[in-house]
Amino acid sequence: MIAHEARWIDAREGSLAPLNGCDVVVLGYGNQGRAQALNLRDSGAAARVRVWTRSGGPAAARAVADDFERIDTAALGEGDLFLCLLPDEVQPTFLRETLDPALRAAGKPGRVGFAHGFALQFTTAGQELRRAPWVEVFLVAPAGPGEEVRTAYVSGGGVPALLAVWHDASGAARARALAVAQAIGALRAGVLETTVADEVVVDLFGEQAVLCGGLSALVRAAFTTLTRAGYPPALAYLECVHQLRLTAELIARHGIAGMRERISRTALYGDVTRGPRILGAEVRMRMADILREIESGEFSREWMEEDRRGAPALETARGDRLADPLEEAGRAFRTRLQSPDSTPTGP
């Protein structure tokens, strides 16, 4: 796969005008759906913001509690712009069997935005969105969870986002994507224009190699090494898990070089001499394999088949977690920190 150039968008390019008069329907009311719906409504850009969720579930109740009008499938044809924030594995079926027929029956053009390009890049539904009646298909992908998207917006800031256009029969897809980015607060922090293919590959790789898969595997291995050697679980958890946030914040604020300037010389020596031993050539080869699996579509096919079978691997992981020594140590540690009787000790 050949990656493309990406560029930061000047905030002055953004305008809320493409959303004026729009009836925006947010599809899904999970963490990202709730955050974007609230930010859109607070921006005052759209004529109205409504929510589609499955009836009877906790998401529907939460949307109503947040004073949103929750619409049923029969009313989907009334919408002008849809933000598809449903789970990746649900999107293809919903787009093909629910949203597309509703728009055709209403005789309306389809305009839809996504927060991740998985369904666009790796499913047949994504290819179908490049045909009529779809006129605008774009991506505005916040680089952070929904809770942070909302918190940053309320505080006057925003979470950076990636922006890409998948299909533009109207000529207005990019402008509308920029309007959404501005309405949810992303332009306050910075928006990087890229392609859907690059966004989805980099996002999946980051999740698997670093942010979720790599990080959790590294933490678990370190915790197990210490506890098997006889060191107390609470001590292992404090050192290998709790302090991650502090180091991550240093890197986010100052970069790796800046982090290294702010730690002890002993820690720095351990960093530069032992880090490469932990993540050596073999790990880099495995990362390259993971990247190839993502680019080729092997991972997406594997995940969709896993979901079709009821996701047994996820159920097994949930069951294993209940009796996990690391999780037990974490629960005890967090309870201790939250206790009003706990007294910090040490320097």
Q: Pick the catalytic residue: 4, 116, 167, 242?
A: 116
pLDDT of residue 341: 56
Give per-residue pLDDT as tens, 288-327. 999 999 999 999 999 999 999 999 988 887 766 666 888 8
Diameter over CA atoms, the chain: 69
Residue 116 is a catalytic residue? yes
How far apart, in whole angstroms, are the C-alpha atoms of residue 182 and residue 40?
Answer: 9
* Residue of 247, 275, 278 whose CA lies nearest to 260: 247
Position 320 scores a pLDDT of: 64
pLDDT tens digit sequence for 233-288: 999 999 999 999 999 999 999 999 999 999 999 999 999 999 999 988 999 999 99
Mean pLDDT, rounded, of the chain: 92
pLDDT score for 345: 44
User: How far is the C-alpha of 25 from the C-alpha of 123, rounded, in Å?
Assistant: 23
**Residues 38, 43, 44, 46, Cα dihedral to 10°:** -70
pLDDT tens digits, 132-159: 779 999 999 999 999 999 999 999 999 9
Task: Identify the pLDDT of residue 248.
Answer: 93
Q: Which of 272, 275, 295 is closest to 284 using CA atoms?
A: 275
pLDDT at position 250 is: 95
The three-class DSSP label of residue 173 is helix
Given this model, what pLDDT does residue 327 score?
A: 87
pTM > 0.85: yes
pLDDT digits (tens, 9 = 90+) for 154-183: 999 999 999 999 999 999 999 999 999 999
Check residue 234 and give its pLDDT.
93
Whether the upstream peptide bond of residue 133 has omega within 30° of 0, thus cis, is: yes
pLDDT for residue 110 is more than 60: yes
Q: Which residues in the chain are classed under CATH 3.40.50.720?
A: 7-194
* CATH homologous superfamily for the domain 7-194: NAD(P)-binding Rossmann-like Domain (3.40.50.720)
Residue 87 pLDDT: 94
Where is average pLDDT lowest: 86-95, 236-245, 267-276, 330-339?
330-339
The confidence band for 344, taking pLDDT boundaries of 50, 70 and 90, is very low
Query: In the predicted model, is pLDDT for residue 347 greater than 50?
Result: no
Distance, CA of 187 to CA of 328 (rounded, Å): 41
More confident residue, 267 or 56: 267
